Amino acid sequence: MHTLRDIAQLIKAELFGDPTAEIIRTRPFEAAEPGDITYAANPSYRGRLDDCRATAVIISPPAETSSRNLLVAANPKLAFARAIQALHGTVYTGQGVSPDLITGVGTVLGRQLSILARVTIGRDCEIGDRVSLYPGVVIGDRCRIGDDSVIHSNVSVYDDTRIGSRVIIHAGAVIGADGFAFVPGEDGRQVKVLQLGRVRIEDDCEIGANCAIDRAAFGETLLKGGVKLDNLIQVGHNSEIGEHTVVAALTGFSGGARVGRRCVIAGQVGTNQHITIGDGAIVAGQAGVTKNVRAGAMMAGTPAQELNSWRRSQVLYSRLPRLADRIAKLEIAAGLREKK
């Protein structure tokens, strides 16, 4: 439970109303009750503030007269997200270490851990303070996991992986499996290229359920600080994803891809090997990135092209049947084609 004064400070909003009012939870505008904080998600809610039962409503400037407590923020959605974190965020559970934990020789465990049933940790690992490992987690040899990280059920972390602090990895993810690398032999059989590198995930990343992040052939597959991956994403060997980039579900990065800082990669995007996507680029859903993308570009289509060019080409594509009919009529009139 927080006072409204506390919430205002946490979400960086200006308070109009009772600073001592107590807030228990966050709820949507229509469902909010006393003790809740909500936000005006669209302009239509501005005229209904007095009908809302929430103890407080987050709105955008300017402030207005209302019988409700108001929190005014430049970005109400961002402020509401911070309120959700403050009231419902993951908190260290302090459940201790399950008696069936299996650890290898030389492994060092931090303090105040929550390690639940059927967890296995390999040799020479380092597990930081307040780490939470949920049932069925398997961690290979020589891994490092930073403070306050959370690894959910049935995640597999292969040997030599480095995971930073405050990282969240959701259920079923596989971190550090071999990259997909084979060379045809003289007889046509595939010869495996052994993958001798590792995966490194920096602080404050979040990895969605059932993602696969492959170890590097040599060196590292790297997710830099603050990267957020949705569910079911493939990161190929030796790829690198820059700080605070977000990637939506079912995207696949081929080996050696380089993605810059603060990019937005939409769902079902695929890339060629060794391409570079510049800082701040946006790639629309289902795009196929076959060449390098400049910083700040907005790309769409397969092969991916600048968004405006793609839109023009889509308009022309929709006109092709009519254009074909016109050309046929012109050819008939010119005697270049017989009328059917």
Does 326 lie in the same domain as 226? no
Domain C-terminal end among 71, 88, 105: 88
Does 322 lie in the same domain as 256? no
121 found inside a domain: no
192 found inside a domain: yes
CA–CA distance, 228 with 242 (Å, rounded to integer)? 10
Q: What is the pLDDT of residue 90?
A: 65
Paired sense of beta strands 156-157 and 108-109, if any: unpaired
Model confidence at 65: pLDDT above 80 = no
Q: What is the pLDDT of residue 335?
A: 81
Does 8 lie in the same domain as 42? yes
CA–CA distance, 193 with 103 (Å, rounded to integer)? 30
Crossing angle, helix 4-11 and helix 76-88, to 10 degrees?
Answer: 120
CA–CA distance, 211 with 169 (Å, rounded to integer)? 9
Model confidence at 112: pLDDT above 60 = yes
Does 284 lie in the same domain as 326? no
List of residues 6+ apart from 193 with CB closer than 8 A: 181, 182, 183, 217
pLDDT digit string (tens) for 205-225? 999 999 999 999 999 999 999
Provide, rounded to the nearest whole percent, the portion of the chain with pLDDT above 70.
99
Q: What is the pLDDT of residue 215?
A: 98
Q: How many CA atoms lie within 13 A of 130 on its CB side?
A: 12
Domain C-terminal end among 42, 69, 88: 88
> Residue 270 sits in a domain of what CATH number?
2.160.10.10
Q: What is the pLDDT of residue 70?
A: 95
138 found inside a domain: no
Active-site residue among 2, 88, 170, 237?
A: 237
Model confidence at 109: pLDDT above 80 = yes
Q: What is the pLDDT of residue 337?
A: 80
- Residue 215, domain extent: 155-303
* Cβ–Cβ under 8 Å, residues 213 and 196: no
Q: What is the pLDDT of residue 334?
A: 86
Residue type, 55: T
274 as an active site residue: the answer is no
What mean pLDDT do residues 131-158 have?
98
Q: What is the pLDDT of residue 31?
A: 94
Q: What is the pLDDT of residue 91?
A: 57
> Residue 51 sits in a domain of what CATH number?
3.40.1390.10
* Cβ–Cβ under 8 Å, residues 111 and 129: yes
Q: Which residue has the tokens 């290898």?
A: 104
Model confidence at 321: pLDDT above 80 = yes
CA–CA distance, 223 with 166 (Å, rounded to integer)? 14
Q: pLDDT tier at 92 (50, 70, 90 boundaries)?
A: low
Q: CB 32: neighbour CB atoms within 10 A?
A: 20
* Cβ–Cβ under 8 Å, residues 227 and 211: no
Range in 41-45, 54-58, 179-183, 226-230 the model is least confident about: 41-45
Mean pLDDT of the chain: 95
Q: What is the pLDDT of residue 47?
A: 85
Q: What is the pLDDT of residue 336?
A: 83
Does 159 lie in the same domain as 299? yes
Model confidence at 293: pLDDT above 90 = yes
Model confidence at 151: pLDDT above 70 = yes
Does 166 lie in the same domain as 287? yes
What's the domain count of the chain? 3
Q: How many CA atoms lie within 13 A of 123 on its CB side?
A: 1
Domain C-terminal end among 88, 114, 137: 88
Q: Compare 48 and 281 and report the one with higher pLDDT.
A: 281
293 found inside a domain: yes
Does 190 lie in the same domain as 57? no
Does 244 lie in the same domain as 221? yes
Does 297 lie in the same domain as 162? yes
Does 262 lie in the same domain as 231? yes
Q: Which residue has the tokens 């929550």?
A: 114
Q: What is the pLDDT of residue 307?
A: 92
What mean pLDDT do residues 46-72 have?
89
Predicted TM-score (pTM) of the model is: 0.90
Does 53 lie in the same domain as 25? yes
75 found inside a domain: yes
CA–CA distance, 303 with 170 (Å, rounded to integer)? 32
47 found inside a domain: yes
Range in 181-195, 197-211, 310-324 the model is least confident about: 310-324
Range in 26-40, 78-92, 225-239 the model is least confident about: 78-92
* Cβ–Cβ under 8 Å, residues 225 and 204: yes
Model confidence at 44: pLDDT above 90 = no
* Cβ–Cβ under 8 Å, residues 214 and 179: yes
Does 273 lie in the same domain as 168? yes
